[in-house]
Structure 1
């Protein structure tokens, strides 16, 4: 399939190249070439017709010869000449050849006729194509008209460029104006919101101003408020005194507990253990650094176990101290 496509494309390429070369010719040269092609096709058609006529003559001659051979065979059979086997085989072979020629004659004749018809169709198509090309070439403008059209085209291109630039500039201005309108819309909403708030504040201030007109009522409210605040001051003072007494009692009890703990042997022992624990913590930190450095060289599992026991013991003592406190 690809090979057939390649062949058809190659043939189409040759045909297009031939058409291109033909279009480059003047109408007179094209007409001369067309006449030459028509003459060549006519010669080929005449040759094909002559060949067909000769083939028809050969067919008729073969049929006549075949008839003669059949007559001879019948005569020989009647005269008892059947013993001549070689002659019979030769005649039979000639008959087969003639039959084969006759059987293939129709196909050859049809192929030749098809070729003639195809050539005639090609001539008609070629004439139509040349006629169209001549019409097109007749409508082609001359150099002056072509230069004028090219100038007009350049002018139109310039105008289109200006129009495109103007359109782009207008689009940018439109976008800017749209953004400004959106900002104005936002400002209007903000102004409307602020106006509503100001109206509410103005209404509240007006209500308050109306209240200020009643001086006696304001004085009475102020006296009531003063009395209420005085009562609250006295109440809060009493609460403060009671709270202070309670705090003093708690402080005294706490100090007594602290003195009692300081005089307690267990507390003193805890303080000593706390100091000892801090010392052991420092030693434990140094020991851990030493153990980490020497862990790959020696087995310090037992020592680490002892240190952990001491650390757990100190931790338990600290927890007891915290519980006593």
Structure 2
């Protein structure tokens, strides 16, 4: 009797567990029976099973397609982010190059001002400071000086045209430079 009383709690828990399992089995069977009863009379359980398997296959394929699409979209996102980084770095590089071009342009403009705006003043000063030189020797020196200055002028013009092949020929500074060169050549 004491053994029965001591083991009663364990026996009771075990029996309640068995009873609960049986109730769950009965409930599952009743659900299956009601589903079978709800089936149209022309549908056999085997065809219903095939339909359910087909539905499961369809949903599995949809899941697989969704995962594939997600992976593809993540790849596209990574690619676009990389392209955006390249564009941002190119933007910075272009800004830097534009600043360099502006600086070079200012430098060329200053060279034009320094070298060619003073031609008339230099001519006047050289004529006023020159002493009479004897005929042929004087003419040779002047022609040699003229040739050297023409060569320098052509080199500067070529450098400007090479650096700015399309922009400068139509600019006012380039026109002024050309007129100084023509004046000087006379």
Q: TM-score, normalised by structure 1?
A: 0.29
Q: Specify the structure having the higher radius of gyration (Cα).
A: 1
Higher relative contact order (CA 8 A, sep 6+): 2
Choose between structure 1 and 2: higher helix proportion: 1
